[in-house]
A and B are shown apart, each in its own frame.
Chain A
Amino acid sequence: MSLVIGTQEWADAAMQELNSSQIYKEAAKNWEGDMYVIIEPDATFKHRIIGYFDLWHGDCRSASVVKDESEKSPQYTISGSYPIMKQLLEKKLDPVKAMITGKLKVKGNMGQIMRMPRAALEFTNCVSKVDAVFPE
């Protein structure tokens, strides 16, 4: 059964996906820094979902869902509107292309991202592998 995006079960499943992916482990081998993944609401989608992932050298050390951005102060934030996130999770949109065209907004230390662009790509790939649906 599909999990619901924005629940702790979903965050747990994403963490498991990251920690069992050899590809992610290799691509993010030197990655240091936690991250928010924010799904912004729009006319058709009322929720604002904030996933928090603590990423360290190819491991995801914790994952949770927070209510308010001020709860944590991660080094990176990736955010996008609901339709964009939906396309990403359905693999209809390449995450790097989405970042280059500004559909996905990235904030944080760009020096690290440019040194290991595949870490961001494989992170998104892993999270989108979770069998999940958006909340009603």
Chain B
Amino acid sequence: MWYFVCPEVVFGEDALSRLAELPGKSAFIVTDKNMVKLGLVDRVKEQLAQAEIVTDHVFDEVEPDPSLETVRKGSAMMRRSEPDWVVAVGGGSVMDAAKAMRVEYVRPDMPAEEINPFSLGLDLGSRCKLVCVSTTSGTGAEATWAIVLTDTQTETKLGLGSRDVLADIAIVDPALAASMPPQVTADTGMDVLTHGVEGFTSTFKNDISDGLCIRAIQLVFQYLPRAVANGDDMEAREKMHNAACIAGLGFGNSMAALAHSLGHALGTVFHIPHGRAVGLFLPYAIEFIGEGREELWAEIAYAIKQEVPDGSKAVPVLNRALRGLAGSIKQPLSIAEAGVPADQFDRAMSKLIDNAVADSQLVSTLRVPGEAETEKLFRYAYEGKSIDF
């Protein structure tokens, strides 16, 4: 037995107007300074005002890779303002922070670092509901029950989550993603791609999420280069925004895998954006997992119209396509290309290994590397060498 859970997804042009129909009295907005500056928070407030929902409290201090401290600060503010809606306006960091803040607000007995999928029954919605307004086309956090937070004391990412923290409503309005600069569009797009591929091949893969993952991969190949090349290409923007949510619905119900473990580790230590880090590792993870998923790699290759010649393996065909796409939007193909100096990389190695080996996404990885193999994976990925072990 398994579950497929998802929020009400409102997508396409003008999806934001769903906010004008919300019942209730007050909303607490969780966001970051950039969203305020871009005027997106004002647009959200305008819609909420039409529903006569008061929005006196805006927490705009969510940082990239949000920390436990930030969550504590936000939830303390929430307790003072007692909202019946939390409205997250931002990318994955903002949405994850908002999910965790709502838990601490409604359930002070459940600190964020203990949010887990095993003890259900948090019953958050009866006191306060959550809307996620996604402004990047990447994490799909508007559709998933995962929460990634950073413990700044130990420099580790905490892979938390519970079906109870899922948003009630996900708003996927392409106009809100239109202000992403090309670099962010490219980075977050790589996250979508990685979610699709890993969600389709993790050990938790399932019939319900498979099709979503495949469709997301197809949309990325078709529209990501266009969205990066021309931010005003609203068709490409809309398709990528949908793709992010579709991939979220897919991998959110089947988990990610090795590329995420390695990417989390590298990203935390060297502050590389999430999508860029996981996308960088994806071809290496595919090579490492290899044989055990041959049929699935071939299915993905088929879905993006790449022919696997008779008698050949699918991995090189698929990886050529993945690297081709990444290269076309100027994503790094190795850790060196990502700008990590060799001496710093060497010094960080034991931290990288510890973080990767402890990462929750390894739980759903078909072939799990031990510490020695993890070090090799990092070193090969540093140099851009194909995995041969």
Q: List 6 A-B contacts (CB under 8 A).
A: A26-B371, A29-B357, A94-B203, A100-B117, A101-B3, A118-B357
Bound CA span A96–B158, Å: 17
Q: Does A110 contact B (CB under 8 A)?
A: yes
CB of B184 within 8 Å of the partner chain: no
| Chain A residue at minimum C-beta to C-beta distance from B362 | A118
How far is it, in angstroms, between the C-alpha of A101 and the C-alpha of B1 when the chains are bound? Answer: 8
Contacts of B371 in A (CB 8 A): 26
Asked if B24 is at the interface (CB within 8 A of a chain A CB), the reply is: no
Contact A116 B158 (CB under 8 A): no
Mask, A116-130, CB within 8 Å of B = 1, is 111001000000000
Question: In the bound complex, how far is the Cα of B116 from the Cα of A116, in angstroms?
Answer: 12
A23 and B360 within 8 A (CB)? no
Contacts of B360 in A (CB 8 A): 114, 117-118
Q: Are B118 and A110 in contact, with the CB atoms below 8 A?
A: yes
Q: Is A62 an interface residue (CB 8 A)?
A: no
Which residue of chain A has the shortest Cβ distance to B151 in the bound complex?
A115
Q: Are A100 and B118 in contact, with the CB atoms below 8 A?
A: yes
Least CB distance, A24 to chain B, in whole angstroms: 11
Would A110 and B358 be within 8 Å (CB), given that A26-B371, A101-B2, A118-B363 are in contact? no
Interface pair B370/A110, CB less than 8 Å apart: no
Q: In whole angstroms, what is the CA distance A113 to B360 when docked?
A: 10
Binding site for A on B (CB under 8 A): 1-3, 111, 113-120, 156, 158-160, 203-204, 354, 357-358, 360, 362-364, 368, 370-371
Residues of A92-110 contacting chain B, CB below 8 A: 94, 96-97, 99-103, 105-106, 109-110
- Residue ID in chain B nearest A99 by CB atoms: B118
Q: Which of A20-73 contact B (CB under 8 A)?
A: 22-23, 26-27, 29-30
Task: Beyond the given A23-B370, A116-B358, A118-B358, please list 6 additional residue pairs across the A-B interface where CB-CB is below 8 A.
Answer: A103-B1, A113-B118, A114-B114, A114-B159, A115-B113, A117-B159
Which chain B residues border A117 with CB–CB below 8 Å? 159, 360, 363
Task: Please give, as numbers and ranges, the residues of chain B lying within 8 Å of A106 by CB-CB distance.
Answer: 118-119
Q: Within 8 Å CB of A26, what residues of B?
A: 357, 370-371
CB nearest to A96 among chain B residues: B363
Q: Note all chain B residues with C-beta closer than 8 A to A115.
A: 113, 156, 158, 358
Residue of B nearest to A107 (CB): B119
The interface of chain A, by Cβ under 8 A from chain B, is: 22-23, 26-27, 29-30, 94, 96-97, 99-103, 105-106, 109-111, 113-118, 121
B156 touches A102 (CB 8 A): no
Contacts A23-B368, A101-B2, A121-B363 given: A113-B357 contact, CB under 8 Å?
no
B370→A113 contact, CB < 8 A? no
Query: B362 contacts which chain A residues (CB < 8 A)?
Result: 118
Residues of A within 8 A of B358 (CB): 27, 30, 115-116, 118
Closest to B120 in A: A102
Q: B44: shortest Cβ distance to chain A, in Å?
A: 31
Given A114-B360, A115-B358, A118-B362, is A97 in contact with B204 using a C-beta cutoff of 8 Å?
yes
Chain B residues near A30: list those with CB within 8 A.
358
Q: How far is the CA of A97 from the CA of B117 in the complex (A)?
A: 10
Docked pose: A118 CA to B111 CA in angstroms: 21
A34 vs B117: C-alpha distance in the bound complex, in angstroms?
A: 21
Q: Tell me whether B114 and A110 are in contact (CB under 8 A).
A: yes
Give A113 to B158 CA distance when docked, in angstroms. Answer: 11
Task: Report B56 CB to chain A, min CB distance, Å.
Answer: 33
A111's partner among B113, B120, B363 (CB-CB below 8 A) is B113
Residues in chain B near residue A27, CB distance under 8 A: 357-358
- CB nearest to B1 among chain A residues: A101
Contact of B2 with A110 in the complex, beta carbons under 8 Å: no
Beta-carbon contact of A97 and B160 below 8 Å: no
Q: Inside 8 A of B2's CB, which chain A residues have their CB?
A: 97, 101
**Pick the contact of B116 from A23, A94, A103, A113 — CB < 8 Å?**
A113
Chain B residues contacting A102 (CB-CB under 8 Å) are 118, 120
**Residues of chain A contacted by B113 (CB below 8 angstroms):** 111, 114-115
Bound Cα distance from A23 to B159, whole angstroms: 20
Residue of B nearest to A23 (CB): B370
Complex: how many Å from CA A22 to CA B158? 24
Closest to A112 in B: B114
Within the complex, which residue of B1, B158, B204, B364 is in contact with A114, where a contact is CB–CB below 8 Å?
B158
The residue in A29, A110, A116, A121 that gathers the most chain B C-beta atoms within 10 A of its C-beta is A110
